[in-house]
Amino acid sequence: MDRLYLAIDNGGTKAAALLFDGDFHLIAAAKSGSLRANTTAAELVDAHFEDLMSQLGLSRGTALACIGGTFERAIGARLSERFSIGEVIHTTELDLGLGAAEIFGDGLLALSGTGATMYARIGGVLYSSGGYGAAVADEGSGYWISREAMIAAIRDYEGRGPSTSLTELIAERFGFRRDELRSAIFSIYYTKSSPVAQVAGLVPLVVDAAEGGDNAAQEILVNAGRLMADQMLSLIRKYNAAGSIPLTVSGSVWRGNPLFGREFASRIRAEEPDRQIIIPRYEPVAGFVIDRMNAQNENRGLTEKDRAILENEYARFRYNLNYTI
């Protein structure tokens, strides 16, 4: 059997994995819930892990030439116990995000998923800002957006803020009526999934409300884009990132969220008009595959054959914004 490689991207609410061979042909792909101990109950981590392994069709003792990606040490240890692994590579979110955008040298990454972090690779050195976690500050993240939406809904519900459709949408999301918002919100503390993960998952509701003309939702999304841009611009200034260094984005919050994405892009361009903003073609987990393709080509980028393999076999992991910025 050809040598096997496993790429994993473990986020705050979901995990993705790709099993591929030495010629980068995709053998199996999987998506499941998060494997992060800080956002997911231990029993759910176990269930999600087994679900991923089942989808990949990997049996115990299988030889893997390499596993790589963003996953906790505990997950790496669990994989090592189950499989015969030649090499374990713990990459950063920046590595995967830049790879997914085919940025193989220096680059900037604005990540917004459950959490939010700004990254830079300048002269081969990694820098970051933000990403302090939900308990402190994750400005512009899915959690931040959803928490602001819940606060707006609470103020409406208690009669101390403007009316917003978020109140009804959030109540219904948790199986309650608008006049039961208090019960709906308290319900997040009594499930196996962490409150952070449940709150962060409300972003699509905020986007729907904004598209329906809800002022509160629109303001939240615009503010989130502004906060993301402020953090990125601060990082650029602090570390003197040359204007020739491209910027890309990563994370679920960007997709289908034009108010957020366009506010971010307009603020970046207002101060950095020559900065190239590249939208990735694939999700971060495919960034590991793309980086290995580039390395095999002696850092000369992707070949037409590589691109054909990605286009034909990794379509499930395309990263689509559904709007332009």
Question: What is the tens place of the pLDDT at every residue in 143-181?
Answer: 999 999 999 999 999 999 999 999 999 999 999 999 999
Three state DSSP letters for the chain: CCCEEEEEEECCCEEEEEEEECCCCEEEEEEEECCCCCCECHHHHHHHHHHHHHHHCCCCCCEEEEEEEECCHHHHHHHHHHCEEEEEEECCHHHHHHHHCCCCCCEEEEEECCCEEEEEEECCEEEEEECCCCCCCCCCCHHHHHHHHHHHHHHHHCCCCCCCCHHHHHHHHCCCCHHHHHHHHHHHHHCCECHHHHHHCCHHHHHHHHHCCCHHHHHHHHHHHHHHHHHHHHHHHHCCCCCCCCEEEECHHHCCCHHHHHHHHHHHHHHCCCCCEECCCECHHHHHHHHHHHHHCCCCCCCHHHHHHHHHHCHHHECCCCCCC
What's the distance, Cα to Cα, between the start and end of the chain in Å?
44
Q: CB–CB of 219/259 below 8 Å?
A: no
Residue 21's pLDDT band, with cuts at 50, 70 and 90, is very high
Question: What is the tens place of the pLDDT at every residue in 85-101?
Answer: 999 999 999 999 999 99
Rounded Cα distance, 172 and 264, in Å: 30
**Pairing assessment for the beta strands 116-122 and 125-130 based on DSSP bridges:** antiparallel
Rounded Cα distance, 240 and 249, in Å: 19
Tell me what percent of the residues of the chain surpass a pLDDT of 90. Answer: 89
Greatest Cα pair distance in the chain: 66
* Residue 40 confidence (pLDDT): 83
Question: What is the tens place of the pLDDT at every residue in 49-68?
Answer: 999 999 999 889 999 999 99
Question: What is the tens place of the pLDDT at every residue in 294-319?
Answer: 999 999 999 999 999 999 999 999 99
Residue 192 has pLDDT above 80, yes or no: no
Mean pLDDT, rounded, for 217-234: 98
Residue 1 has pLDDT above 80, yes or no: no
* Residue 37 confidence (pLDDT): 84
Residue 39 has pLDDT above 80, yes or no: no
**Domains of the chain, each with CATH number or no CATH:** 4-97+282-317 (3.30.420.40), 106-280 (3.30.420.40)
Report the chain's mean pLDDT, rounded to a whole number: 95
Residue 110's pLDDT band, with cuts at 50, 70 and 90, is very high
Residues in the chain: 325
Residue 241 has pLDDT above 80, yes or no: yes
* Residue 137 confidence (pLDDT): 85
* Residue 211 confidence (pLDDT): 97
Q: CB–CB of 122/106 below 8 Å?
A: yes
Rounded Cα distance, 255 and 111, in Å: 12
